[in-house]
Amino acid sequence: MSDTISFLPHYDFSPALNTGYLRKILQLMVQHQTPATPINYAIWYEVVTEKNPQLSTAVDVLIRDKSPFDAATSLALYKKYICNTSVASFEKINDQIQTLIGKTSNAIQETHTKADSAQLSFQKNTVLLEHVSNADELSVTLQQIIQETHSLTEATQSMQIKLDNAHQELEKMRQELTHVRQVATTDALTGLLNRHAFDQALAALFEQPHKGSTCLCLLDIDHFKRVNDLYGHVVGDKVIQFVAALMKKHANDQHYVARYGGEEMTIIMPDTTRAEAFTISNTIKNALENSVLKRKDNGEPLGKITVSIGISVLQANDNAETFLIRADQALYNAKETGRNKVVCTDY
């Protein structure tokens, strides 16, 4: 498999924030003797932003075991935890397509060669037919024409079979590619869009000339660290999955529901007014608050699990960053003023 990286994740943070991240990243690279390559920078970027807990855990294990950050290790981390293993799948499908193109090209060339040979033979025999003087010569010439016709028919049939097989292989690869694209944009734990897909959806929103009424909802599970500390990460993952299911259930069809990172999730709400966004967010909050979550192994109740939600309403002078920052500020206000509430500071 090629070591070529097929695509890079998209990051959209303010310059001031990135400057702070840069200092931390360089310190960690020096501390752990990590070569300053783009892949290693991306890995430490994900660790420093604390938006990729699975990668952070894997890096912690490497540090604990004093394993070197060599090229193979870095590439494996990048493919598994940043690109969701889609790089290998895309490269596999690309190799299959190249092989299929080669087979099809060879089949067409082989048929073309036989067709040229048959055409020359037909031309030669046509000349002979014009000068045939007896029945025996006519019979021999006709037999040659029949043989060439059979040969050309067989070559055409063979190419048709190969083309049919190629069509079936292409259809199979199309299905595989559709699946890979889905994996590349889907968060493995929740089934929501992942952070990369969220960034793409948000960027696409601002490329539209007429955006209409649009809101952004940012959700955070309250005291989630306490859930992990008391019941473990497996239960914590189940809580995240439950909240994600509620979000998918109550969001509208045109909405983009994504896992932003860790216990934070988000909904991009096109064609949605502030009042509608508030109602949907409040419904999600109330549904979770009224749910009785229990451990599957022993039925022990987890206690009340709640969320805080911040909403921003798209303004005429917004860009992706300002739109997101205001939702984050609204979320911060919700958590600072008691949690388990929905706050929208945009009127």
**pLDDT for 134:** 67
Nearest CA to 255 out of 172, 164, 192 is that of: 192
CATH class of 195-344: alpha beta
Instruction: Name the residues annotated as catalytic.
Output: 263
**pLDDT for 176:** 64
pLDDT digits (tens, 9 = 90+) for 161-200: 766 676 676 666 666 666 566 667 888 889 999 888 898 8
**pLDDT for 146:** 64
Q: What are the residues whose beta carbons fall under 8 Å from the beta carbon of 293, sequence distance 6 or more? A: 239, 242, 301, 302, 305
**Taking the CA atoms of the chain, what radius of gyration do you get in angstroms?**
31
- As given in the structure block, the two tokens for residue 98 are 């190249």
What residue segments make up the domains of the chain, in order of their start?
15-84, 87-185, 195-344
**pLDDT for 279:** 96
Between CA 90 and CA 105 the distance in angstroms is 22
CA angle 224, 295, 55 (to 5 degrees): 45
The residue ranges of the chain whose pLDDT is under 70 are 1-19, 83-142, 145-146, 148-160, 162-164, 166-167, 169-183
pLDDT digits (tens, 9 = 90+) for 18-43: 667 777 888 888 888 888 787 888 88
**pLDDT for 141:** 61
**pLDDT for 339:** 95
Between CA 120 and CA 137 the distance in angstroms is 19
